[in-house]
Amino acid sequence: MDGTLGLLGGTAGGGSGGGGGSTTGSASTVSKEDNLVMSSEVSSPYPDETELELGLGLSLGVGGGGLGSNSKLAAAPWGQYARILTAKDFPSLVSKSSSTSSSLVTKANSSTAGTKRSASDSPLNGASQVVGWPPLRTYRMNSLATQAKAPTAEDFSSPCEENESKNAVVDRTTSGSNKNPHNAKEIFFVKTSLFVKVNMDGVGIGRKVDLNAHNCYENLAETLDDMFFTPTTTITARWSSVEENDVMTEASGPSKLLDGSSEFVLTYEDKEGDWMLVGDVPWGYVASSCYDIYVSAL
């Protein structure tokens, strides 16, 4: 049995189910049972609440309400994920881009401070393109990805040259402290990774893409093309036949995601929680501020 495939099928949307940033579907929680006691000797004064209440939106922790209260918090923070976004939502959001862009830049650096929102899921790893795998904390994930940006470019030195250049470093008598020595190893670790979640309409499993591995929208769109429009057994099985036909024919050639001719449109969610249409702001802003990308059906 192909364990991976079978399990992927079995879990279907399992990958995306965990994604806190997923953007469609409704999320609701059954109200908590507040009847908690520590021991029979210290009985709880809580009202008896044996009946579950369903469909009451979200009971999101205690916030300021305290565990003792039965109040349901407003669904607002989670609620914005509970809509299916379509193209008609975007015009109103796009207009906000100019006002929010300035605030995006100042927070750019914090996105690499191990914020989970920006690098939430496990990125692709062979057949296991699922959320939260391998099980590493985001902070460590980003650090490991940074470290392992091993020589992919041609001009990186091989290990023996690397050693030589390190020797040279010690012999040089440079004055003052220098935070950026020019030894070969340092080149590997210049950029940190910035993984963001990508969800697509109709696809249960979220993916992950490293924004810092791309330098422009075209690259990103190409990558997303490869991810989502490369037919795999499980993914195509989930598409409706109409979409499937359309997208399959568009799989070849340059990405259609950007020029609006595909059935899908790329959107991303910025730090303010607004949904922006990809392409409206300079790449730098997106790369520094985006949390989740959503490929939305038109």
Identify residues 110-149 at the interface with another protein (CB under 8 A). Answer: 110, 112-117, 120-128, 130-141, 143-145, 147-148
**Footprint of another protein on residues 222-281 (CB under 8 A)?**
238, 240
Long-range contacts of 241-249 (CB under 8 A, 24+ apart): 243/202, 243/297
Interaction pattern, residues 187-216, with another protein; x per rule: CB under 8 A = -xx---x-x---x-xx-x-----x------
Structure tokens given for 9: 């099928």
Q: Is 64 in the site for another protein (CB under 8 A)?
A: yes
Q: Is 66 in the site for another protein (CB under 8 A)?
A: yes
| Beta-strand relationship, 292-297 and 195-200 | parallel
Name which of 272 and 280 has its Cβ closer to another protein. 272
**Candidate segments 89-97, 167-175, 216-224, 279-287, binder of another protein by CB under 8 A:** 167-175
Is the torsion defined by CA of 290, 291, 293, 298 positive or negative?
A: negative
Name which of 161 and 259 has its Cβ closer to another protein. 161
Q: Is 99 in the site for another protein (CB under 8 A)?
A: no
Cβ(171)–Cβ(96) below 8 Å:
no
At residue 210, the 3 state secondary structure works out as strand
Cβ(198)–Cβ(294) below 8 Å:
yes
Among the listed residues 277, 129, 147, the one whose alpha carbon sits nearest the alpha carbon of residue 208: 129
Q: Is 70 in the site for another protein (CB under 8 A)?
A: no
Among 70, 151, 263, 274, binds another protein (CB under 8 A): 151
